[in-house]
Every structure is written in C-alpha cells, then in structure tokens.
Amino acid sequence: MVRGDLFGIRQSGVLDFKVADVFQDAKLLQNASEEADRLLLDDPELEFPEHRKLKEHLRIKLDEIMLETTL
C-alpha cells in the first residue's frame, strides 16, 4: 500500500485540504496519521468487523479518484 508522506520530505506541491488546515490542525493531522498507522498494523486488509465500513468507504473513494484520473 502506498500512502502519502504528509509530514515527511516526500510530500510536495500545494496541500488542498477540504476539511483541515495543515497549519492550524497540524497536531490533529499528526495524531490521525499515527492512529491510521496503528490501525493498519493491527488489520492491514481492514478485515475486522469494526473496520468494514471504513474499508467500503475507502473503496468508494478510490474508485472515484480512479474515475477522475481517467477522464
């Protein structure tokens, strides 16, 4: 799985968040990133019952992104 490196050196370009401000919400975004890492360590395929809705939401979003990039 390839993920963005929001707080590392690999991130480049303009960050255009729809929900958070990278400067005002830096700590919240860092905490969310750490929690996502923990979740994926425990359940990398998001197969646990409590992660089913998250997996479905991510699948839908990925499908939308793929559609946008092919248009």
Residue among 44, 61, 23 at smallest CA distance from 7: 23
The terminus-to-terminus CA distance of the chain in angstroms comes to 24
pLDDT value at position 22?
82
Residue 10 belongs to a domain = no
**Is 33 inside a domain boundary?**
no
Q: What is the pTM of this model?
A: 0.60
The residue range of the domain holding 64 is 44-71
- Determine the average pLDDT of the residues in 50-70: 93
Residue-wise pLDDT tens digits, 61-71: 999 999 888 87
Number of domains in the chain: 1
Give pLDDT tens digits for 3-29: 555 555 455 555 565 777 888 999 999
User: Once rounded to an integer, what is the mean pLDDT over residues 31-56?
Assistant: 97
- Asked whether residue 8 is assigned to any structural domain, the reply reads no
Residue 11 inside a domain? The answer is no
Q: Could you tell me the two tokens for 27?
A: 């700590």
